Amino acid sequence: MQMSNPAEKKPHAVLIPYSVQGHINPLFGLAKLLHHRGFHITFVHTEYNYKRLFNSRGLKAFDGSPDFHFETIPDGLPLTDEVVNVTQDLAPLSKSVRENFLLPFRELLARLHDSAIAGHIPPVTGLVSDYSLTFTTQAAQEITLPILLFSTASASSLLSILQIRILSDKGLISLKDRIPTMKNFRPNHFIRTTDPNNFIVKSIIDMADSVLKAPTTVINTYEELETEAFKALSSMLPSVCPIGPFPSFLNQSPQNHLESLASNLWKEDTECLEWLKSKEPNSVVYVNFGSITVMSPEKLLEFAWGLANSKRPFLWIIRPDLVIGGSVILSSEFVNEISDRSLIASWCSQEQVLNHPSIGGFLTHCGWNSTIESICAGVPMVCWPFFADQPTNCRNICNE
């Protein structure tokens, strides 16, 4: 099909996330906002996640608008017969991102170029890349394409990442060092290892390197929320812009712009929204530990009885892969104790839940998306951070 109408020659942005839920969602939000502002969009998933999206949402996951396209690249990990409905193991995924993503991404850009020459799509005007994907900068440089880096972490966490890089260069990194320009913050809030080959350390150094070199970095946050961190970042980076919070902007777009397109990799339970309707305003504790956090069966039981003994209604999302070592068995004693006032589900539309009037509080692992979504919904948080930027977010939620 040729593009006949020159008005269809829109600016064309190619967006590529790191392939886990907490990175896909905010970049997908940005894709929708750019589309709303007149961009032609190409959104790049790994083949694995594309299949997961198809399994969870069917064809409607990709069927929103002719100028919002999806493309896939392989993730370079061993193929499995069936798509397992879990977050891929981060260490091999991060290694594969470093080693295997450049080639297929380069080929994808070449295909898009050919397609534009044939008049099927507008020429690509720029890339928006997750800040943890270093190969995208190389691919963009090779064909002199402008690139924007998108930080899925908060400004404070990005600052920590840059400072950890600097301390590590100076050979100063120790678990007890304090981060200059960040009160009371130490690297061990972020990294709990003394192994320099730990994949989180390596990923942090990679991310810092690409952000330090990037012409512009944008963050899903707003300046009033992180004033000090922005001041410090502005003195270190060529250009850094707060462009969030996305949940508020997306809620303001008219008529649920591209409503059928969504990015949740798990099938959402809708019954919980019905159940919430039966509850008093501000009465329900919502419990969700995001897409990656795991815990021991003992810890899960501790939470279970803590929630039961609170005597409050709660909605608890227990992902199938939340508990280390497999399935969850909650005793009939526990089930009897909570069944008339609580609900357990395996995944939900978190933003819909947080914005439900019955929700009164959020027990969270402090992922940055969960944090910003909770702030936008005006829901107070109780924090149980697990790893990566979560302790930093927790500290900011509780102390700042």
| Catalytic machinery residues | 23, 130
Q: Shortest distance, CB of residue 122 to ligand UDP, whole angstroms? A: 29
**The only residue of 21, 42, 132, 156 in contact with ligand UDP, by rule CB under 6 A:** 21
Site for ligand UDP in 293-332 (CB under 6 A): 293, 317
**Per-position b or e across 146-158, b if 16+ CB within 10 A of its CB:** ebbbbbbbbbbbb
Q: Which is nearer to ligand UDP, 206 or 389 (CB)?
A: 389
Q: What residues have CB less than 8 Å from 344, skipping those under 6 apart?
A: 315, 316, 317, 318, 330
Q: Shortest distance, CB of residue 93 to ligand UDP, whole angstroms? A: 13
Q: Which is nearer to ligand UDP, 96 or 291 (CB)?
A: 291
Element of type H or E holding 360: strand 359-364
Confirm if 321 and 294 have CB atoms less than 8 A apart: yes
Site for ligand UDP in 330-389 (CB under 6 A): 347-351, 367-370, 373
CA distances from 98 to 48, 92, 151 (A): 17, 10, 18
DSSP 24-64: HHHHHHHHHHHHHTT-EEEEEEEHHHHHHHHHHHGGGGT-S
End-to-end CA distance of the chain: 54
Which range, of 8-16, 18-26, 137-145, 191-199, touches ligand UDP by CB under 6 A? 18-26
**The only residue of 22, 244, 313, 385 in contact with ligand UDP, by rule CB under 6 A:** 22
Q: Shortest distance, CB of residue 372 to ligand UDP, whole angstroms? A: 8
Q: Which is nearer to ligand UDP, 283 or 349 (CB)?
A: 349
- Collapsing DSSP to helix, strand or coil, 173 comes out as coil
Site for ligand UDP in 163-182 (CB under 6 A): none
Q: Shortest distance, CB of residue 128 to ligand UDP, whole angstroms? A: 17
Confirm if 30 and 128 have CB atoms less than 8 A apart: yes
Q: Shortest distance, CB of residue 81 to ligand UDP, whole angstroms? A: 26
Antiparallel, parallel or unpaired: β 343-345 and 359-364: unpaired
**Residue listed under structure tokens 């972490």:** 153
Q: Residues touching ligand UDP: how many (CB under 6 A)? A: 20
Q: Shortest distance, CB of residue 384 to ligand UDP, whole angstroms? A: 12
Q: Which is nearer to ligand UDP, 181 or 349 (CB)?
A: 349
Q: Which is nearer to ligand UDP, 139 or 150 (CB)?
A: 150
Q: Which is nearer to ligand UDP, 181 or 248 (CB)?
A: 248
Ranked by CB distance to ligand UDP, the top (closest) residue is 22
Confirm if 76 and 101 have CB atoms less than 8 A apart: yes
Q: Which is nearer to ligand UDP, 136 or 154 (CB)?
A: 154
DSSP 114-162: HHHHTTSSPPP-EEEEETT-THHHHHHHHTT--EEEEESS-HHHHHHHH
Confirm if 18 and 130 have CB atoms less than 8 A apart: yes
DSSP 316-348: EE--TT-BTTS-----HHHHHHHTTT-EEES--
Q: Shortest distance, CB of residue 173 to ligand UDP, whole angstroms? A: 24
Confirm if 98 and 117 have CB atoms less than 8 A apart: no
Q: Which is nearer to ligand UDP, 121 or 366 (CB)?
A: 366
Q: Shortest distance, CB of residue 305 to ligand UDP, whole angstroms? A: 22
Site for ligand UDP in 233-292 (CB under 6 A): 264, 288, 290-292
Identity of the amino acid at 124: V
Q: Which residues bind ligand UDP (CB under 6 A)?
A: 21-22, 25, 264, 288, 290-293, 317, 347-351, 367-370, 373
